[in-house]
Amino acid sequence: MDTTSTSYIKNMATDLLINATSYEVRIALIEHGNLVEFHVERPTEKGLVGNIYLGKVVRVLPGMQAAFVDIGLDRTGFLYVDDVHISPAAFEKRLNNCGEGTSCCENEPPDSLAVRTPGKSIEDLLVEGQEILVQICKEPIGTKGARLTCHITLPCRNLVFMPMTDHIGISRKMEDEELRQRLRKDIEELRPAGTGFIVRTVAEDASREDLEADMEFLLHLWSEIQDIAGRTGPMSLVYEDLDIILRVVRDMFTTEVDRLVVDDPKTYQRVVKFVQTFAPHMHERLHLYEQNAPIFDAYGVEMDISRALDKKIWLRCGGSIIIEGTEALTVIDVNTGRYVGKNDLEETIFKTNMEAVREIAYQLRLRNIGGIIIVDFIDMEEEAHREEVFRAISEAVLKDKSRVNILKVSEFGLVQMTRKRNREDLVRMMCEPCPYCGGDGLLKSNRTICYEIFRRISLGAKNILGPSVTIKVHPKVAGMMLKEEAVTIHHLEDELNKNLIIIPHKDIHMEKYEIIWASDSSAAAAKQLPGKVKAL
C-alpha cells in the first residue's frame, strides 16, 4: 500500500489510526480532523468483553433475581435472570435495541435490575455449584465484577452468530427494505435450524458467498468452543476474543472509513492478512505510516487526548463546561465564563447552552462516559429555548454507538440522561487516584492540620514529663505554624510549660505529621536551647 505523506495527513476525511507498540496499543478514529473515539489496551490490562468461560455458580440471589458466578477472575461475575432465560418476545425486543453489537446485553440501560421478564425465576434456573457457559458482556468496572450472559454471541465481519437463539436480525441502519428482505432470505436459506444470526451494517455490499463464508467460519468456531468446554474444568477460559487491533478492524473499519493507517510494519501485515480474508474489497484503504514524526503527533491526536483528561473544557464562545465524575454518576456544569454576549442575558445563556450541547455529546463519546449523567445547563427562562436545547442534544448523540436515553430539560435547567457503559471511561483508564487525597480531589487545609496537631499535643502533654515536643511536618504546614500561628504556639507553650520544636520535612505527606516527646534525660539539653519555638 502507499505510505502516508504530509499532504495526505492534512487533507483528512475519516481515518482510523493504529499506534502499536509492544507495551501499548492506541487506536483513534478521526472525523474531519477531530478525534471522536479513542481506545487503548495494554497487555497487562487486556479487555475481557467477548471472552467465554466455563463458570461455576457460587451464589444465587432470589431477592435480586441474579447470581454470582466464579469464572476464575479476581472478582466473581454477575449474571441476571434475563441473561439466563428470556422469553421469545422479550428477546425480540432486546435485539431491536441491541442492533449489531457483539453482545445483546451491551446496549441495555445500565444496571436495569428492576426491569425483568415475567417467567422463570433465577432459583428455577440455577443452583449453587452448577457449571455454566457464560460470556462477558461488560468489563469489570471499579469495584464491580464483570457482567455475564448465557446468550453467547460470536461476531464476524458481516454476521453475528447467536448459537442459543432461533432468530434472524438485520441491522437497523440498513433502511433499504428490498435489501433487508434479500439478506433475510439468504440467511434463512443458509443457516442451520435453531440458530440465530444478526446481519451487520457492513454486510450491505456483501454477496451471498461472503455471508456463507462467514457463517461457515462461525459454525466451525462454535464447534471448537463446545469441544473445549467439554474437556476443560470449571472457572477456566474457553474462548478469547480477538485482540483490540483485529477487533477494531472487524468492527470499525467500515465503508465510512476512508483510510486505516498503521504505524508498525508487523501489525500492518497482520491487518493486511485479516482484511484480505474477511474484507478484500477494503484492501486499498490500508496504509502503512512511515514518516519520522509519531503518527499521533502528525495527526494532532496527542493534544486531543490530553484535553480529554481535563475537567474544564473551554467553548469557542468563551463559556466552559466542567466534567466531574463520581462513583455513582457524572455531573457536567455549563458556565458562561468569559462570554458576555451582545444583546440580552437570555440570548447569551441560550447560545452558551447550545454550544455546550455539541461539546458535551462529543466529550461523552470521546471519554466513553457511561452510567447516569446530569447536565446542569444555565437556567433558561423561555420554554422554547429549553425545548431547543433538548432537541439539539437528542440529535447530537445520534452518532454515538452506545445507547443514550435523555429526559427533557427541567425548570432548573437540568438534563438527566443515561449512556451505556461497557468499559472504563478514558479518565479512569489513563489516570489513577491521587496518592494524597485518594481520588477525593481534596486535602485538609494547612490550618486544619495545625489545629489537629495542637489538640494532640494538648491531650498528650498531661501524661508526658519531658520538657519539649518535636513536631515533624510538611514545609507548608511548618510555615503556617511559624508565621500565622506563631501566637497560638506561644500560648500553647506557656499553657503546657513545654518547648515546641518544629522541623519541616519535605518527604512527609501534607496531611501527616510526627510528634516526638523529649524524655527526662534530654531535659538539660532541651533547656539550653534559646527561645521556645524552634524551626530546624
pLDDT of residue 201: 83
Q: What is the pTM of this model?
A: 0.72
Q: What's the DSSP call for residue 342?
A: S
Residue 340 has φ and ψ, to the nearest 5°, of -110, -5
pLDDT of residue 267: 95
CA end-to-end span of the chain, whole Å?
Answer: 68
Beta-carbon count within 10 A of 535 CB: 11
DSSP 349-366: HHHHHHHHHHHHHHHHHH
How many Cα atoms within 13 Å fall on the side-chain side of residue 6?
2
Residue 59 has φ and ψ, to the nearest 5°, of -160, 130
- Contact call for residues 477 and 508 (beta carbons, < 8 A): no
pLDDT of residue 530: 33
pLDDT of residue 465: 74
- Where is 324: in which H helix or E strand? strand 320-325
Beta-carbon count within 10 A of 142 CB: 7
Residue 408 has φ and ψ, to the nearest 5°, of -65, 160
CATH architecture of 446-535: 3-Layer(aba) Sandwich (3.40)
Between the alpha carbon of residue 471 and those of residues 353, 491, 518, 534, the distances in Å are 52, 16, 11, 10
pLDDT of residue 536: 38
Residues 69 and 129: their CA atoms lie apart, in Å, by: 9
Superfamily of domain 52-242: Nucleic acid-binding proteins (2.40.50.140)
pLDDT of residue 425: 81
Question: In terms of C-beta distances under 8 Å and separation of at least 24 residues, what long-range contacts does 333-337 make, across chains too?
Answer: 333/376, 334/375, 334/376, 334/377, 334/378, 335/378, 336/378
pLDDT tens figures, 458-505: 888 777 777 888 999 999 999 999 999 999 999 988 888 888 999 999
- Any idea where the domains of the chain sit in the sequence? 6-45+246-303, 52-242, 309-430, 446-535
Tens-level pLDDT at each residue, the chain (536 residues)? 444 444 445 455 899 999 999 889 999 999 888 899 998 888 777 778 889 999 999 999 998 899 999 999 889 999 998 888 765 555 555 555 554 544 444 333 333 333 344 557 888 888 999 999 999 988 887 678 899 999 899 998 889 999 888 888 888 878 888 888 999 999 998 998 888 899 988 888 888 888 898 899 999 999 999 999 888 888 999 999 888 999 899 888 988 899 999 999 999 999 999 998 888 888 999 999 999 999 999 998 888 888 888 889 898 888 899 999 877 789 999 988 766 656 678 888 888 999 999 999 999 999 989 889 999 998 888 888 889 999 999 999 988 878 899 998 887 778 999 998 767 788 888 888 777 777 777 888 999 999 999 998 888 877 777 788 899 999 999 999 999 999 999 998 888 888 899 999 988 988 899 998 865 444 433 333 333 344 43
Give the burial string for 334-354 (b: 16+ CB within 10 Å, else e). Answer: bbbeebebeeeeeebbbbbbb
Nearest to 9 by CA among 45, 40, 33: 33
Nearest to 191 by CA among 227, 219, 171: 219
pLDDT of residue 323: 93
Nearest to 375 by CA among 315, 415, 321: 415
- Contact call for residues 36 and 201 (beta carbons, < 8 A): no
- Contact call for residues 536 and 499 (beta carbons, < 8 A): no
Residue 134 has φ and ψ, to the nearest 5°, of -135, 160
* The CATH fold of domain 6-45+246-303: Nucleotidyltransferase; domain 5 (3.30.420)
- Where is 189: in which H helix or E strand? helix 177-190
pLDDT tens figures, 167-178: 888 888 788 888
Nearest to 314 by CA among 356, 346, 358, 353: 356
- Contact call for residues 297 and 331 (beta carbons, < 8 A): no
pLDDT of residue 96: 55
Equal fold, 52-242 vs 446-535: no
